[in-house]
């Protein structure tokens, strides 16, 4: 049996970052414009801190202006809303990203809707959600767009394919479904209450997994020849790696798909790490670049 080909997200993401960096240098040279991203982090969630640090580092490496504002865990919703208002009015800020999740006392929907939709580089504002579902120009949520880019590059035309999206989140599942629909796929959105989930998965030519349950999707859930995109990033104990200095078990990252089993059935599969993950920040840079061009009335680069 031939094993699935690996879709190399790291390589795809590197190409996007290089193209963005080139466009940024052209904007600087020709228009004295430096696209700039402000990331707001509330609290000290370790995973969020890692993501935010990478977002800042990669935007700087692409030649963009990069600013991270770190607020205390206990900041009031009103203070956060006031900060967003200030950033909306600051013409030197082209993109605003508030890292999610937010502490429980802050209403995420209120915060997202306070961001100027034209600076919303996540594409989470309801105006941008509406634009996406109606086919208007909008910033496209970074992770699902990364999945789509890899699918297009790997499979070409997606017309007529059966796609199953295992997630109904606003960040991944719903925008992913909208994007696949716009590529003429027949789309099913599945979730924790979906009946006969394994059978639904077996019907899918394209399977997008983003449930956050380590290795939940087994090899025999995969249709032979399917393309599997694993958005999950889960940390599990890795006894084979031994112990940390404090005696705890070492860990490793796995996706929502049992990779070793699934690769025996699939034609193409993304690994974890090194699959979807790197595409998210690459597309954040792309969205920031495009937002800057739109705000200044310049032609958008075709990336």
Catalytic residues: 55, 99, 122
Pairing mode, if any, of strands 5-6 and 36-42? unpaired
- CA–CA separation, 70 and 48 (whole Å): 11
DSSP tag of 125: S
- CA–CA separation, 238 and 248 (whole Å): 10
Which part of the chain contacts ligand GUN (CB under 6 A), choosing from 22-30, 65-73, 98-106, 175-183? 98-106
Determine if 97 is a binding residue for ligand GUN (CB under 6 A).
Answer: yes
Determine if 115 is a binding residue for ligand GUN (CB under 6 A).
Answer: no
Which part of the chain contacts ligand GUN (CB under 6 A), choosing from 97-105, 130-138, 144-152, 287-295? 97-105
End-to-end CA distance of the chain: 37
Nearer to ligand GUN, 54 or 188 (CB): 54
Which part of the chain contacts ligand GUN (CB under 6 A), choosing from 60-68, 72-80, 95-103, 156-164? 95-103
Nearer to ligand GUN, 201 or 284 (CB): 284
Which part of the chain contacts ligand GUN (CB under 6 A), choosing from 93-101, 125-133, 178-186, 223-231? 93-101
Determine if 122 is a binding residue for ligand GUN (CB under 6 A).
Answer: yes
Tokens of 124: 């989470």
Smallest gap from Cβ 241 to ligand GUN, in A, equals 26
Nearer to ligand GUN, 27 or 102 (CB): 102
Determine if 100 is a binding residue for ligand GUN (CB under 6 A).
Answer: yes
Determine if 143 is a binding residue for ligand GUN (CB under 6 A).
Answer: yes
Radius of gyration of the chain (CA): 20
List for the chain the helix, strand, coil content (%; round to 5). 45, 15, 40
Residues 202-231 touching ligand GUN, rule: CB under 6 A, are none
CB 38 within 8 A of CB 93: yes
Tokens of 189: 């959105």
Residue 98's nearest CA partner among 90, 109, 297, 169 is 109
Determine if 158 is a binding residue for ligand GUN (CB under 6 A).
Answer: no
Smallest gap from Cβ 226 to ligand GUN, in A, equals 25
- CA–CA separation, 146 and 12 (whole Å): 9
- CA–CA separation, 118 and 128 (whole Å): 9
Kindly determine how many residues on this chain lie close enough to bind ligand GUN according to the rule CB under 6 A: 9
Tokens of 36: 């700039």
Residues 165-194 touching ligand GUN, rule: CB under 6 A, are 171
Residues that bind ligand GUN (CB under 6 A): 97-100, 122, 142-143, 171, 280
């Amino acid at each position: 049996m031939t094993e699935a080909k690996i879709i190399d997200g790291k390589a795809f993401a590197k190409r996007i970052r290089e193209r963005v960096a080139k466009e940024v240098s052209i904007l600087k040279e020709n228009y004295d414009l430096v696209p700039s991203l402000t990331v707001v982090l509330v609290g000290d969630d370790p995973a969020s801190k890692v993501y935010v640090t990478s977002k800042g580092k990669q935007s700087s490496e692409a030649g963009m202006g990069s600013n991270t504002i770190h607020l205390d865990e206990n900041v009031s919703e009103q203070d956060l809303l006031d900060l967003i208002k200030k950033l909306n009015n600051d013409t030197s800020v082209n993109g605003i990203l508030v890292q999610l999740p937010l502490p429980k006392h802050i209403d995420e929907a209120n915060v997202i809707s306070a961001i100027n939709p034209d600076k919303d580089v996540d594409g989470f504002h309801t105006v941008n959600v509406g634009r996406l579902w109606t086919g208007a120009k909008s910033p496209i949520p970074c992770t699902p767009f990364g999945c789509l880019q890899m699918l297009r590059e790997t499979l070409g035309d997606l017309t007529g394919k059966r796609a199953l999206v295992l997630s109904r989140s606003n960040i991944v599942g719903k925008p992913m479904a909208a994007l696949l629909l716009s590529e003429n796929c027949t789309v099913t959105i599945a979730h924790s209450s979906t009946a006969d989930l394994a059978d639904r998965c077996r019907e899918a030519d394209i399977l997008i997994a983003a449930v956050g349950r380590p290795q939940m999707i087994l090899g025999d859930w995969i249709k032979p020849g399917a393309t599997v995109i694993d958005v999950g990033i889960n940390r599990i104990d890795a006894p084979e790696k031994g112990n940390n200095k404090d005696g705890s078990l070492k860990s490793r990252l796995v996706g929502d798909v049992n990779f070793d089993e699934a690769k025996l059935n699939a034609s193409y599969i993304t690994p974890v790490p090194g699959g979807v993950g790197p595409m998210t920040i690459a597309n954040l840079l792309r969205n920031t670049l495009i937002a800057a061009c739109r705000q200044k009335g310049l032609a958008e680069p075709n990336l």
